[in-house]
């Protein structure tokens, strides 16, 4: 599309946006001075802005558009559903066909021991549900002292009170005196940044044992659950050392606490399996889901519940006083169902595992040769580049953490691709339908972006 054919009034939209719209996770004053980018269309892995520029969506929206943008089939399913039943609730002994069909579909693709789902509208709400559900479970099981939930520093579980508290983002905690009581955090398995002189394998064991130490310190009879992302997304695509999950599994098998695998990013094919828990062979008790569940076409999330948790939650009887107006919303459920049907019909999960995942990984990890890159890593279709001032020295990082990442992100956008910056690492999480040709373009733009960033840092005397 050319600028001439895309006739959106950029300046007027920016002015109205600045006057009335408060953006998430944004310094609004600084943004308003600069002006927003305005995205007007999207198709496949490509975005179009109000100036007619085409931009490769290296982040699948916000880690969510698994099947690519502009699938008419999902729009049609939603249209049909809204024409038949645009809204009804799932409280008070009622249900509706899309909620039933989606629940059945989720039980089909979930690990065999997970057969039930509780719906909400986002990943944050899913984790608020988790927070209440694990405590309710232990109450029902006659162990009401089990209340503490252990999360991890730099984990991300959403931005509501429970999500922020379970997550380990210190900047978020500082705003609003969080976490709420009853949450503890242990270290993350971030070898590149925190592994010091240990090998990745040693560090994986070392950091997993922090869970054991925390349970002992708090008292197993007081711990309700441990929550973790299989691979941390928003924390910077932190792929744990190979020893980490087996050691955590060993600890969990010896302790009577619930395990919550947050699948909001890793779920729905991102790692080349339906769930990150399949990829690492984890057996979680609960799995919060959202994002790729509907490929972001409409907001829907949920918590997948294991048969074990169903015993406390359901079999013991009693009402769990929890739910949302939009739990199982019919149009959102229809969107999710159409999305999952596309994923199954087109074998998208296998495509990630056996084709585009390995194809992109080979090319992405080759970017690790660049003088600005300390480590290039990828699993499935999620990857990171650690930008460093000095190759081969993990301890030397840029002053003013985040400045170089932001510079590189802005250059990437100018070069025609969205990458996300986390501190000074660059992140990609593209739509799972990325073609070989598009993967080549992605890597070429990433390469040019690294070159341009390096040249600018040289000019500034930072490398």
Q: Select the span of 32-40, 157-165, 273-281, 350-358 touching ligand PXG (CB under 6 A).
A: 157-165
* Cα–Cα distance, 17 to 386 (Å, whole number): 33
Rounded least distance, CB 123 to ligand PXG, Å: 2
Per CB under 6 A, 374 contacts ligand PXG: no
Closest by CA position to 311, among listed 55, 133, 98: 133
Longest Cα separation, the chain: 68
C-beta of 226 vs 454, nearer to ligand PXG: 226
Q: Which residues pair with 375 in a beta bridge?
A: 386
* Rounded to 5°, angle at Cα 89 from 84 and 95: 75
Is the alpha carbon torsion for 442, 447, 448, 453 positive or negative? positive
C-beta of 170 vs 458, nearer to ligand PXG: 170
Alpha helices of 371-435 — where are they, by DSSP H? 403-414
* Cα–Cα distance, 241 to 253 (Å, whole number): 20
Per CB under 6 A, 234 contacts ligand PXG: yes
Q: Tell me which residues in 47-106 interact with ligand PXG (CB under 6 A).
A: 62
Terminal-to-terminal C-alpha distance of the chain: 38
Question: What count of other Cβ atoms lies within 10 Å of the Cβ of residue 198?
Answer: 15
Phi–psi pair at 306, nearest 5 degrees: -75, 165
C-beta of 161 vs 444, nearer to ligand PXG: 161
Closest by CA position to 122, among listed 327, 319, 307, 313: 327
C-beta of 157 vs 370, nearer to ligand PXG: 157
* Cα–Cα distance, 79 to 341 (Å, whole number): 17
* Cα–Cα distance, 367 to 64 (Å, whole number): 24
Q: Tell me which residues in 382-441 interact with ligand PXG (CB under 6 A).
A: 420
- The site map against ligand PXG for 116-155 (x = CB under 6 A) is ------xxx--x----------------------------
Rounded least distance, CB 66 to ligand PXG, Å: 14
Do 111 and 273 contact (CB within 8 A), yes or no?
Answer: no
C-beta of 140 vs 165, nearer to ligand PXG: 165
Rounded least distance, CB 419 to ligand PXG, Å: 12
Contacting residue, 156, 191, 245, 454, with ligand PXG by CB under 6 A = 156
Rounded least distance, CB 124 to ligand PXG, Å: 3
Rounded least distance, CB 125 to ligand PXG, Å: 7
Q: Tell me which residues in 289-308 interact with ligand PXG (CB under 6 A).
A: 290
Q: Measuring CA to CA, how many Å separate 322 from each of 60, 126, 129, 159, 167?
A: 31, 11, 8, 19, 21
Rounded least distance, CB 11 to ligand PXG, Å: 27
Q: Measuring CA to CA, how many Å separate 6 from each of 15, 17, 43, 310, 415?
A: 19, 19, 15, 52, 19
Q: Tell me which residues in 160-199 interact with ligand PXG (CB under 6 A).
A: 163
Rounded least distance, CB 395 to ligand PXG, Å: 26
* Rounded to 5°, angle at Cα 210 from 209 and 211: 85
C-beta of 264 vs 463, nearer to ligand PXG: 264
C-beta of 23 vs 316, nearer to ligand PXG: 23
C-beta of 114 vs 234, nearer to ligand PXG: 234
C-beta of 323 vs 358, nearer to ligand PXG: 323
Q: How many residues does the chain have?
A: 463
C-beta of 126 vs 411, nearer to ligand PXG: 126
Three-state secondary structure along 26-75? Answer: CCHHHHHHHCCCCEEEEEECEEEECCCCEEECCCHHHHCCCCCECCHHHH
Q: Select the span of 227-235, 270-278, 356-364, 365-373 touching ligand PXG (CB under 6 A).
A: 227-235
Q: Tell me which residues in 255-284 interact with ligand PXG (CB under 6 A).
A: 262, 264-265
C-beta of 55 vs 463, nearer to ligand PXG: 55
Rounded least distance, CB 166 to ligand PXG, Å: 9
Rounded least distance, CB 156 to ligand PXG, Å: 5
DSSP 340: H
Residues that bind ligand PXG (CB under 6 A): 62, 122-124, 127, 156-158, 163, 229, 233-234, 262, 264-265, 290, 420
């Amino acid at each position: 599309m050319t600028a001439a054919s895309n006739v959106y009034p950029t300046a007027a939209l920016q002015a109205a946006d600045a006057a009335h719209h408060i953006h998430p996770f944004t310094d609004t004053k600084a943004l308003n001075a600069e002006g927003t980018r305005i995205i007007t269309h999207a198709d496949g892995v490509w975005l179009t802005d109000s100036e007619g520029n085409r931009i490769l969506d290296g982040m699948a929206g916000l880690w969510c558009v698994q099947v690519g943008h502009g699938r008419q089939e999902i729009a049609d399913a939603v249209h049909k559903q809204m024409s038949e039943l645009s809204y009804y609730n799932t409280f008070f002994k009622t249900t509706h066909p899309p909620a039933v069909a989606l629940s059945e579909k989720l039980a089909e693709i979930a690990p065999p021991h997970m057969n039930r789902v509780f719906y909400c509208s986002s990943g944050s709400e899913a984790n608020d549900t988790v927070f209440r559900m694990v405590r309710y479970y232990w109450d029902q099981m006659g162990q009401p002292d089990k209340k503490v939930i252990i999360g991890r520093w730099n984990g991300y579980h959403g931005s509501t009170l429970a999500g922020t508290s379970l997550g380990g983002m210190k900047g978020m905690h500082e705003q609003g005196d969080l976490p709420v009581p009853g949450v503890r955090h242990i270290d993350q398995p971030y070898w590149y940044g925190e592994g010091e002189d240990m090998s990745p394998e040693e560090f994986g064991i070392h950091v997993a044992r922090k869970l054991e130490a925390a349970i002992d310190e708090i008292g197993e009879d007081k711990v309700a659950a441990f929550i973790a992302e299989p691979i941390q997304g928003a924390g910077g695509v932190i792929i744990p050392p190979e020893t980490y999950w087996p050691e955590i599994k060993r600890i969990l098998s010896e302790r009577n606490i619930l395990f919550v695998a947050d699948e909001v990013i890793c779920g729905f094919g991102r790692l080349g399996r339906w769930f990150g828990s399949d990829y690492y062979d984890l057996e979680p008790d609960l799995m919060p889901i959202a994002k790729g569940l509907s490929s972001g076409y409409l907001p829907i999330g949920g918590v997948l519940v294991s048969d074990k948790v169903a015993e406390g939650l359901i079999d013991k009887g009693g009402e769990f006083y929890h739910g949302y107006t939009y739990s199982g919303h019919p149009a959102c459920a229809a969107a999710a169902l159409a999305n999952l049907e596309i994923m199954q019909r087109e074998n998208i999960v296998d495509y990630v595992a056996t084709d585009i995942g390995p194809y992109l990984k080979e090319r992405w990890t080759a970017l690790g040769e660049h003088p600005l890159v300390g480590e290039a890593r990828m699993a499935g279709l999620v990857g990171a580049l650690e930008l460093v001032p000095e190759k081969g020295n993990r301890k030397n990082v840029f002053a003013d953490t985040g400045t170089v990442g932001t510079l590189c992100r802005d250059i990437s956008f100018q070069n025609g691709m969205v990458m996300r910056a986390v501190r000074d690492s660059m992140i990609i999480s593209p739509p799972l339908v990325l073609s070989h040709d598009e993967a080549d373009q992605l890597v070429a733009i990433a390469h040019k972006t690294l070159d341009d960033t390096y040249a600018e840092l040289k000019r500034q005397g930072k490398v």
